[in-house]
Amino acid sequence: MSKKNTIANRQAMCEVLIEEAKENSDVIVLTSDSRGSASLAKFADQLPAQLIEVGIAEQNLVSISAGMAHMGKRPFAASPACFLSMRSIEQIKVDVAYSNKNVKLVGISGGISYGALGMTHHSLQDFAVTRAIPNLQVLVPADRHETKKMFKVLATTNIPAYIRLGRNPVEDCYPDDSYEFEIGKAITMTDGTDLVFIAAGETVRQAMDASLLLKKKGISAKVLNLHSLKPFDELAVKKAARETGRVISVEEHSIYGGLGAAVAESLSEEKGIVHKIVGLPDEALVTGTTIELFKHYGMDGASLAELGKKMVE
């Protein structure tokens, strides 16, 4: 197990954006009354002229960001993922993606981060809807190290993107940031030959924990981190599936239309491969913390290890 981490991914994002904005005045941050929940207060304090607050107006947030990108700015628009990916989806589709404007849409407190606030504040369909929009990247980092890597790259690219970040600190998946990162390229977190866990975002740590538990039982489990749902590393998915013959995809998202669906699409013409989709059911979820919900829905390390054991046996 890695050491406990107290830095949330959104805080890591803020550190990178401050660095990049100091070097490039075209880097602009926009928020929808969410600088606090996005951990962007330090950015506002240090670079007030490069932060725009639009208030609780998510559709305006996206359209204003698109307009600024059209004028040569490099906007990062931060808003709760549940509202950004639902209330503003037409603006994302038309003003950003169809118009090919360099806007980075940051969905904060994604997945089940809001916990007890329930279905209205859960974002469990965001991958499904954004994956279906042409010309829009869909990204989700696993920990603070990957968040920093990702945002350093995003500060230099000119491609529209939707990035989901969780609300709370997650246990480190990487020991540090001394590794190669590329959008669209999956990363093997642990090697294995009996089965492969394919995960994204905060479920990567759970998959790694499951791999460690299975190792004690003599089962070798690979963990593949799909931080990029679009572009999607189909070659890495197929290779891992062919090598092991058993695939468990795990995601903090509805079982429909997200990572599991992308994996299934990639493996649809493969033979002799068993694939189990682990995600959140098509229902209004019970309320609780992220860890409580992961355990309840069989997405924590221990539950995944048990599922992997049954699959191998």
Q: What is the pLDDT of residue 3?
A: 54
Q: Which residues of 140-172 are buried (b: 16+ CB within 10 A; e: fewer)?
A: bbbbbbbbbbbbeebbeeeebbbbbbbbebbbb
Q: Mind listing the pLDDT tens digit for each residue in 42-82?
A: 999 999 999 999 999 999 999 999 999 999 999 999 999 99
Q: Across residues 69-96, what is the average pLDDT?
A: 97
Q: Across residues 20-26, what is the average pLDDT?
A: 97
Q: Is 225 strand, coil or helix?
A: strand
Q: Mind listing the pLDDT tens digit for each residue in 229-280?
A: 999 999 999 999 999 999 999 999 999 999 999 999 999 999 999 999 999 9
Question: Side chain identity at 118, as an amino acid letter?
Answer: G
CB atoms within 10 A of CB 92: 27
Structure confidence at residue 117 as a pLDDT band (50, 70, 90): confident
Identify the structural domains of the chain with CATH numbers, from first to last.
9-164 (3.40.50.970), 187-312 (3.40.50.920)
297: Cα within 13 Å, side-chain hemisphere: 27
